[in-house]
């Protein structure tokens, strides 16, 4: 299967959207970890799933405090 250009709008189909989210979330968090480790940057990421009321949280460094 080749690459198809996909339109950048919310995926309407619930099941497809969940699958896309879980796949992309994985790759995205991998990229985040790589970025923070390679470049020595501190990162905080929040992804909020409004429908399920679930929060995904990644923090590269335990002592990164926004205050």
CA atoms within 13 A on the CB side of 62: 0
String of contacts with a copy of itself for each residue 1-20, x by CB under 8 A:
-----x-xxxx-----x--x
- Is 46 near a copy of itself (CB under 8 A)? yes
Q: Please report which helix (H) or strand (E) contains residue 59, including its range.
A: strand 54-59
Instruction: Provide CB contacts within 8 A for 25, sequence distance 6+.
Output: 47, 56
- By CB under 8 A, is residue 27 in contact with a copy of itself? yes
Q: Give the one residue of 50, 53, 62, 63 binding a copy of itself; rule: CB under 8 A.
A: 50
Residue 36 CB neighbour total at 10 angstroms: 19
Residues that bind a copy of itself (CB under 8 A): 6, 8-11, 17, 20-21, 24-25, 27-28, 31-51, 64, 66
């Amino acid at each position: 299967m080749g690459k198809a250009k996909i339109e950048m709008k919310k995926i309407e189909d619930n099941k497809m959207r969940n699958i896309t989210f879980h796949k992309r979330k994985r790759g995205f968090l991998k990229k985040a970890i790589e970025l923070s480790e390679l470049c020595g940057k501190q990162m905080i990421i929040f992804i909020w799933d409004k429908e399920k009321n679930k929060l995904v949280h990644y923090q590269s460094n335990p002592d990164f405090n926004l205050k």
